[in-house]
Chains A and B, each alone.
Chain A
Amino acid sequence: MNEKLVIQIQAYLDGELSVEARLQLLARLEKDPEARELCDSLKAEQSLLKGVGESGHELPVAHSYFWKAISDEIQPHPTSSNQAMHKQTTVAFQRWSAWLVPGGVIACIALVMFQKGVFDDVLDGIESTGKKAARIAPSFHEIDSQQQNAGFISFRSESEGVSVVWISNY
């Protein structure tokens, strides 16, 4: 039996032969008992495989575990440019924090000292109120100076066209 005939029989059983080729083969099978026997064998084997089917293997892991690996791949992740930007921001913050932390500490100490009147002794050393005002705003000149017990000091800058009133707490 030649190879071509064997393959033709199989194609016939698989429904892959053209009408013309199928008619030719059927005529051959009528006359050739050996070919007919082979055809029957192939047919039985096909029935066996298709009839019995496959084993019912199931996923060997839980769905949640199986899905997680898929989900991790298909869910949107931060892009590489976003990650790079985030990294740059972090580095810049770390650089600034090296200065900000000691600067903040110094500012806090200064604030506490100011509130406790530590600077009052320094200011008392300045004799006149005008000098004190000049120290505070040297470019301004006093236009209406009152005694300290009056509670306020006012300044006027003609060149700037601005008036400033200093109100004392005591």
Chain B
Amino acid sequence: MSVDLPFEDREETEVVSAAQTGDVDAFEELVRRHGDKIFRRALSMMRDENTALDMAQLAWIKAWNRLSQFHGDSSFATWMTRVTINLCLDHIRKAKRWKFAESIEEMDENSGGVERKLPFVEINPTEGLEREELKKTIDKALAQLSEGHRAVIVMHTFEEMAYKEIAESLDCSIGTVMSRIFYARRNLASILKRMLEEDSQS
């Protein structure tokens, strides 16, 4: 029977169920399985390794206390990632390091005119080495974005969260989310273009 198997050999749903009954060993198995991903998400939001480590640990502690709220509507990893993102957003808000712009005009002040065309960057995903280099370049470019822009890029592009869900997390309107995503992407594209041009020159 699967009950006799160690947690590392059990299905995720079984491990989650055991953790929900208070089994600490089951919860540790979940941390073992998703620890890297959660840290990666915290790092993409915070951009500082030590802070990301703290946020990841806090996210797991928070998740333990709220395990009863997980009903299996999404995968555990997705739910856990949402917990982490919201925790990071709370941390950023409390630190008052940025605030959400409520109007597209406000966003535009920091980003330049909407009319400016987005740089066009072509990639060939089949070229492994080039792709890895691009990955690092994108990572560096993300680091140069403001926290607000980075948050929406992470939530929308990498976590594939819908506008509505992002709006709920950010406590703002869907219109704000739409404009923020646009300017965040455009800024990222500008940074990427500059970085790629610099690389090609060197």
Contact = CB atoms under 8 A, between A and B. Distances in A.
Interface in A13-49: 14, 16, 37-38, 40-42, 44-49
Interface string B57-101: 100110011000000000000000000000000000000000000
B157 A44 contact: no
Given A7-B178, A44-B120, A67 B31 contact: yes
B122 interface: yes
Contacts of A40: 120
Shortest Cβ-Cβ A-B pairs, 4 listed: A41-B118, A55-B139, A51-B125, A74-B64
Chain B CB within 10 A, most for which of A7, A42, A59, A61: A59
Contact of B135 (A2, A53, A67): A53
Contact of B28 (A14, A51, A67): A67
A71 B139 CA distance: 31
Interface string B106-137: 00100000110111111101000001001110
User: In terms of DSSP, what is the predominant structure of the interface of chain A?
Assistant: helix
A44 B178 contact: no
A73 B61 CA distance: 7
28 contacts: A6-B114, A6-B182, A7-B179, A14-B156, A16-B162, A38-B118, A41-B119, A42-B185, A44-B121, A47-B123, A48-B123, A48-B192, A49-B185, A51-B125, A52-B138, A53-B135, A54-B139, A58-B39, A59-B39, A59-B53, A59-B56, A61-B53, A63-B31, A63-B32, A69-B57, A71-B24, A74-B27, A74-B65
B112 to A, nearest CB: 13
A138 interface: no
Interface residues of B, number: 52
Given A10-B178, A41-B120, A45-B189, A60 B49 contact: yes
Contact of A50 (B24, B115, B157): B157
Contacts of B171: none
B122 A44 contact: yes
A14 B40 CA distance: 24
B104 interface: yes
A165 B43 CA distance: 89
B181 A59 contact: no
A57 interface: yes
B57 A16 contact: no
A11 interface: yes
Nearest to B139: A55
Contacts of A57: 36, 39-40, 43
Contacts of B163: 11, 14, 16
Nearest to A44: B120
A54 B139 CA distance: 7
Contacts of A3: 104, 108, 114, 179
Contacts of B24: 71, 74-75
A2 B138 CA distance: 29
